[in-house]
Amino acid sequence: MKIALLSRNRRLYSSRRLIEAAEERGHEVKVIDVLRCYMNIASAKPSVHLEGDPLIGFDAVIPRIGASVTAYGTAVIRQFEMMGVYPLIESVALSRSRDKLRALQLLSRKGIGLPITGFANKPGDSKDLIKMVGGAPLVIKLLEGTQGIGVVLAETNKAAESVIEAFMGVHANILVQEFIKEAGGSDIRCLVVGGKVVAAMRRQAPEGEFRSNLHRGGSASLVKITPEERATAVSAAKILGLSVAGVDLLRSERGPLVMEVNSSPGLEGIESASGKNVAGIIIDYLEKNAKPGRTATRGKG
C-alpha cells in the first residue's frame, strides 16, 4: 500500500511507530503536513496538491491531526475521501470527536454511561448550573483544554461558583461535571481498533492530585478490564464512527463512565504499559480495510 501519514512531525513517537510498522510490512509511507496541502474544491475531479504536485496513487490516509488544526485537517481528509482514498479516521468522525459537546451529546443519546455533565457558554445563573449537575464536589473543565490543563476540582459550591465566574470572565467555554471520587485519581484508557479493545492501561494520578494525565505526573500500568468496560469502549468508538480511538473511562459505583474519546490517541504510553504492538495492529487493520472508495461518508459530512 501507499499510505499518507498526515502528521506535522515525523519524529513524534506515534508517527515513528506507524511508519516503522507500515514499512516492516512492505508499505510505502509519505509524511504530509496538512497545513502545506492545498486543494481545488470547485473541481469535478477532486485533488490535493503539495509543493507543486498532486498527491496521487494513495491507498490510505492515516490522520494524526493536532487539535489546533482540526478544521483544516478535516477538510484535507474529506478531500481524500472524495478522491476515494480510504481514511483510517473519517473526516466526520474526527469532527465529532473533537467537539466535546457534540461527542458527549451523541454518546448520551445512545445511553452510554457518562458523568453528569453540564455545558455552559454564559450561564446567567451559575448557582442553578451547579444545582443542575448535583452540586459540589464538581470538576470544571475548559473545553479547549488538553493534557489536564484547565481541569479544576471545586470542593464546595462557593468554590465552583467562583471558578465558573472566573472562566466566564475570560470568555471560555466550559463543562461542569460530577466528580467521580471513587475513581481514586485513576482512569482507564482503552485503545479500540476495528471494534475491539486491543490494549488497555490504567493511569494513576500522583498523591494529592486527581488528574491522572501522564503529562501531570501520572503513572501507567497494565490493567485487566471488565466485559462491561470493554463493551462501553467499543460502543463509544462506534457511535462516533471511529475505527481507531482512545476511550477514557472512569470506574464509578454505577459502572464505567466515558470521559473522553480521543481520535488521535498517543501510542507511547499504551504500547509500553501493555507491551502490545498497537502500531502494527493499526496497520494490519488498514491492510484489511483500505479498499478504494470504501468510506462510509465519502466526504458527505
**Residue 89 found at the interface with ligand ADP (CB under 6 A):** no
Nearest residue (CB) to ligand ADP, 48 versus 245: 245
- Integer Cα distance of 279 and 268 in angstroms: 10
Q: Which of residues 15-54 bind ligand ADP (CB under 6 A)?
A: none
Total residues binding ligand ADP (CB under 6 A): 23
Give the HSE-up count for residue 60: Cα atoms under 13 Å, Cβ half-sphere: 21
Nearest by Cα to 174 from 115, 122, 209: 122
**Residue 95 found at the interface with ligand ADP (CB under 6 A):** no
- Site for ligand ADP (CB under 6 A): which residue of 3, 39, 120, 139? 139
- Site for ligand ADP (CB under 6 A): which residue of 260, 269, 286, 299? 260
Residue 71, classed as helix, strand or coil, is helix
Please list, in sequence order, all residues whose beta carbon lies within 8 angstroms of the beta carbon of residue 86, skipping any fewer than 6 positions away.
Answer: 59, 60, 61, 286, 289, 290, 291, 292, 294, 295
Please list, in sequence order, all residues whose beta carbon lies within 8 angstroms of the beta carbon of residue 207, skipping any fewer than 6 positions away.
Answer: none
* DSSP state at residue 46: -
Using the contact rule CB under 6 A, the part of the chain among 89-97, 145-153, 225-233, 264-272 near ligand ADP is 145-153
Q: Confirm if 269 and 36 have CB atoms less than 8 A apart.
A: no
Query: Rounded to the nearest whole angstrom, what is the least distance from the CB of residue 186 to ligand ADP in the complex?
Result: 7
Torsional class of 255: left (φ above 0), alpha (ψ -120 to 50), beta (otherwise): left
With residue 150 as reference, give the H or E element that holds it.
none
- Site for ligand ADP (CB under 6 A): which residue of 74, 213, 232, 277? 213
**Residue 177 found at the interface with ligand ADP (CB under 6 A):** yes
**Residue 183 found at the interface with ligand ADP (CB under 6 A):** yes
**Residue 90 found at the interface with ligand ADP (CB under 6 A):** no
Using the contact rule CB under 6 A, the part of the chain among 64-72, 156-164, 172-180, 231-239 near ligand ADP is 172-180
Beta strands in 134-185 (DSSP E): 138-142, 151-154, 174-178
Query: Rounded to the nearest whole angstrom, what is the least distance from the CB of residue 227 to ligand ADP in the complex?
Result: 23
**Residue 285 found at the interface with ligand ADP (CB under 6 A):** no
**Residue 259 found at the interface with ligand ADP (CB under 6 A):** yes
Query: Rounded to the nearest whole angstrom, what is the least distance from the CB of residue 46 to ligand ADP in the complex?
Result: 34
Give the residues lining the site for ligand ADP (CB under 6 A): 115, 139, 141, 145-148, 151, 177-180, 183, 187, 205, 210-213, 248, 250, 259-260
